[in-house]
Amino acid sequence: MGTALQSGSSRAEARLLSSILIIALFLTLAPVVRLFFEGVTDRGRPSLVLMREVLAQPSTLSALKHSIVTAGLGTVVSLVLGAAFAFLVALTDLRAKAALVFCLMIPMMIPPQITALSWTQIMGPSSVLLKALGIAPPLGSPQPLYSPEGIILLLGIQHMSIIFLTLRAGLRSIPQDVVEAARISGARGLRTWWQVVLPLTLPSLAAGTAITFVTALGNFGIPAMLGIPAGYSTLPTLVYQKLAGMGTTVLAEVSVLAMLIGAVAVTGILLQRHFRGRQKLHLVGSTSRPLALPLGAARLPVEIALWAVVCAILVLPMFGLLATSLVPAYGVPLRLDTLTLDKWHEVLFRQPVTTRAFANSFGLAAGASLALMLICLPLAWLMERRRTRLARVFDSLLDLPYALPGVVLSIAMILLLINLPFTDATLYGTIWIIFLAYMARFFAVMFRPVEASLKLLDPAMDEAAQSVGASLRRRLRDVILPLSAPAAAAGAILVFLTAFNELTVSALLWSSGTETLGVVIFNLNDSGETGMASALAMTIVFVVMALMGLVQLLSRRFPKGVVPWQT
């Protein structure tokens, strides 16, 4: 009897795993396969003619060069800032580390278009904040951020958190005993750092650098808001401009551009995985005592310097954004007699597009979070119990849609869903294509925390429930769900945070009536409504910080490693 029950349960698990895996594969990998098929065929026949033509165009070569230059030098800026903060936070006795780490995560959580908008408000002749301080450049002076240098600077600031997190994780694994042994051998000061600490953290540093380059390469918001006004195109903005100007008639051409972006990105992903593999060092001794170097008399000056940098890259731009939202017109100095909330009232309560965008963004983010939770919980559990070949393949490729630039995924989704199989229907131009793109984009964000938490569960609890005849559905509901709920909740909040203000994916997929908040901010600024764009951007910043604060408050209930700034 017991054997029959176990056999029936095993078959039910196999059927459920196969069903969910098919859905997951359609969401995550089918768009990428469709994109590749479009780029290497002509009317269904293998052909590389179009690819050669597109890659030989001067605009493609120029955009590729611009993308590599801005992403590469932006990664250098991220490396300098992120590594400096990581070494000091992880290795020294700084005070208020938790607050510092939380602040360093905010730039990564704030959408890139808001980062670009906020920085343009504190520089240039029309800066409300500079006018209020009486130090604004004379009218007619160029906006210095509308340049390659401006894009590089903001890409570096936007993605420094990636370097910080990956390097900090590596540094925290170095035991105190290693450095003490080096000191006994005669190493002192910088020599200890150079000969002991740095070699042990090079794999983490290299992995973080590779993924930062990939992320910067696919960034759309910053190059679009700073590069388009300057006539400086990167590959993502070139794809956007071609689609915005000629619509779906250039899908085959932009698919080649998307594949070019993807090829560069995949190279970075492979490098990141290579260095991650080399990171598995076996250190002698326990790592229960992390490395802690006293700063002594230098601690206060170092703390002042670090918080000054945080204020410069985070607080000051936000003040500039807030100041612009509180004046009647962009460029008017902020004084008591010019202070007004008209832009806030107009954009939040009188503009129907804003109300629609809030509803769309909230519905898409919440819906994607809930749907991914319902898929990832049973999938992660079944993949842990049954390591089939298909499950292993899926697990190895799962991170690809998230790691690929958003513009690549957008083109892939358009190609996949513009003509649904066996029907004349299309999802292009509807809100559903954005919803499915969000699910594909953020699948790994939900799946990985749930997978990590399930690996820590004792399988005996599920086996006990199975032995007394509990059905598969009941075991999922009464055993697996309660035990993995904290990780699933944390994953859902992270998905909501990133999807709520997303622009890179939705910029190519939206149509009238399906605008998201990121799209509305971009369009308002592009049309000259800088004050309303600033007010809406500040609203989103407040929402993001509130959600991050909620995650921080609930972090004690989440498994270790789920909250990124606490790993």
**In the prediction, which pLDDT does 1 show?**
46
Angle, helices 431-455/481-500, rounded to nearest 10 degrees: 140
**In the prediction, which pLDDT does 369 show?**
92
For the cut 70, the answer to whether the pLDDT of residue 378 exceeds it is: yes
Average pLDDT in the 306-331 region? Answer: 89
Average pLDDT in the 38-67 region? Answer: 79
CA distance 564 to 552: 10
Name the β-bridge partners of 141.
Answer: none
User: How many Å separate Cα 361 from the centre of its chain?
Assistant: 16
CA dihedral 224, 226, 230, 236 (to 10 degrees): -30
Instruction: Give the largest Cα separation in the chain, rounded.
Output: 87
Query: Of 233, 151, 520, 222, which is closest to residue 354 (Cα–Cα)?
Result: 520
Q: What is the pTM of this model?
A: 0.82
Please report, as a single letter, which amino acid is at residue 374.
L
**In the prediction, which pLDDT does 195 show?**
62
**In the prediction, which pLDDT does 287 show?**
45
Per-residue pLDDT tens for 170-210?
776 666 666 666 566 555 555 566 566 667 777 777 878 88
Q: Which two tokens stand for residue 382?
A: 């079944």
**In the prediction, which pLDDT does 508 show?**
83
Average pLDDT in the 219-246 region? Answer: 87
Residue that is written with structure tokens 């995949």 in the block: 266
Name the β-bridge partners of 533.
Answer: none
Per-residue pLDDT tens for 500-515?
878 778 888 888 889 9
**In the prediction, which pLDDT does 39 show?**
73
The dihedral through the CA atoms of 537, 542, 547, 552 has a sign that is positive
- Where would I find the H helices in 173-250? 176-184, 190-192, 198-217, 221-227, 235-246
Tell me which of 314 and 395 has the higher pLDDT. Answer: 314
**In the prediction, which pLDDT does 522 show?**
87
Report the mean per-residue pLDDT for the chain. 80
Tell me which of 271 and 217 has the higher pLDDT. Answer: 217
Query: Of 156, 164, 197, which is closest to residue 178 (Cα–Cα)?
Result: 197
